[in-house]
Amino acid sequence: MRILITGGTGFIGRELCLELARQGHQLTLLARNPSKAKQLLSRIEIDTFASLDEWEPQIGFDAVINLAGEPIMAKRWSEHRKRILWDSRVVLTENLVKRMASVKAKPAVFISASAVGVYGNQGDAVLDETSQFNDEFGHRLCIAWETAALGAEKAGIRVCLLRTGLVIGKHGGFLERMLLPFKLGLGGRIGDGRQWMSWIHIKDHVSLTQHLLESPDARGPYNVTAPNPVTNAEFTRELGKCLHRPAVIPIPAWLLKLAMGEMAELLLGSQRVLPKKVLASGFKFSYEKLEAALNNVLAE
């Protein structure tokens, strides 16, 4: 396939690009800095667009994969920061859909990122792709993001939405930020530790994206999470065990709220998500249990 990818230089995007290139697909990355993109992905051959204006009407792609978005936890959520998060997801996706609809040879499939934050804080409730939502900023951001992506259906393009959980991988993501304090024996649960964490190994994320890419009947939202979510207390205990370190120093919820403001909802919120549609599609996870996922990543 000839595939256009946004966010291809990010934590997940790099792994996906490497695997797609290994399978012989021809990749074009939309990247603000094409030379940096080629440097980061120097192991494979890629083409680049510096802007959507370079996608001329006669250029055709078989698929578009949209993973772009400013890091959600990089900075405190001021109103200015919220606008940046919104524009990098919602506005970019709207512009991407407009371009797809305008070209002569439209892609057959559009796979677009979202997150389990779409459900909001749901406590112990078990969630699948049909569950209701709890209204908060993360939910509103994801809903607008998904709505923008689904606009491609009007042009006859199949759309799949990746409601991604916490991605476990060595070279990036939330786990990288956790490793140093845990290695120093300073790790522990967040708040009361009862909030649910829905996670997925990065290799399963990449494999599932390819599965949806190649499944002509797949469409709509998919929970990109392993089938065994854990509480924060269970996660921190397992991480400490894998690192052979204690994990007994909790971070009080009030301290997180003081330091992070509204953004603390990402760490204190609870989404107990199950990949019901993913499993029904026949996809097989390589890492269903947290212990195996952590051991694999930490051993690399």
204-262 residue pLDDT tens: 999 999 999 999 999 999 999 999 999 999 999 999 999 999 888 888 888 888 888 88
- When mean pLDDT is compared across 68-77, 125-134, 205-214, 277-286, the lowest value belongs to 68-77
The three-class DSSP label of residue 224 is: strand
Name the phi and psi angles at 124, rounded to 5.
Answer: -90, 0
Residue range 29-56: average pLDDT?
93
What is the pTM for the complete model shown?
0.95
Q: Which phi and psi angles does 14 have, rounded to 5°?
A: -60, -45
Residue 170 identity: K
- Tell the residue number behind the tokens 């204190």, with chain if given: 268
CA angle 199, 128, 116 (to 5 degrees): 45
Task: Please answer whether residues 191 and 266 qualify as being in contact, where contact means their C-beta atoms are separated by less than 8 angstroms.
Answer: no
The residues spanned by each domain of the chain are 2-299
Residue found by looking up tokens 């512009």 in the block: 95
User: What gap in Å lies between CA 116 and CA 273, rounded to an integer?
Assistant: 7
3 state DSSP class of 100: helix
Average pLDDT taken over every residue of the chain: 94
Backbone angles phi, psi at 5, to 5 degrees: -130, 130
- Find out whether 212 and 179 touch, Cβ atoms under 8 Å: no
Q: Which residue has the tokens 């677009």?
A: 112
Choose which CATH entry (3.30.70.270, 3.40.50.720, 3.50.50.60, 3.40.50.12780) describes domain 2-299.
Answer: 3.40.50.720
The per-residue pLDDT for range 140-192, each reduced to its tens digit, is 999 999 999 999 999 999 999 999 999 999 888 888 888 888 998 888 999 99
Q: H/E/C letters for each residue in 151-204?
A: HHHHHCCEEEEEEECEEECCCCHHHHHHHHHHHCCCCCCECCCCCEECEEEHHH
C-alpha span between 241 and 243 (Å, rounded): 5
Tokens of 183: 């290695």
Percentage of the chain lying above the pLDDT 90 cut:
82
d(CA 26, CA 287): 28
* pLDDT value for 300: 61
CA torsion sign, 166 to 168 to 173 to 174? positive
Give me the pLDDT at residue 176, please.
Answer: 87
Q: Is 222 helix (H, G, I), strand (E, B) or coil?
A: strand
Helix (H) or strand (E) holding 66: strand 63-66
Among 181, 170, 168, smallest CA distance to 246 is for 181
Asked whether the beta carbons of 225 and 199 are under 8 A apart, the reply is yes
Contact 210, 162 (CB under 8 A): no
Q: What does the pLDDT average to over 276-282?
A: 97
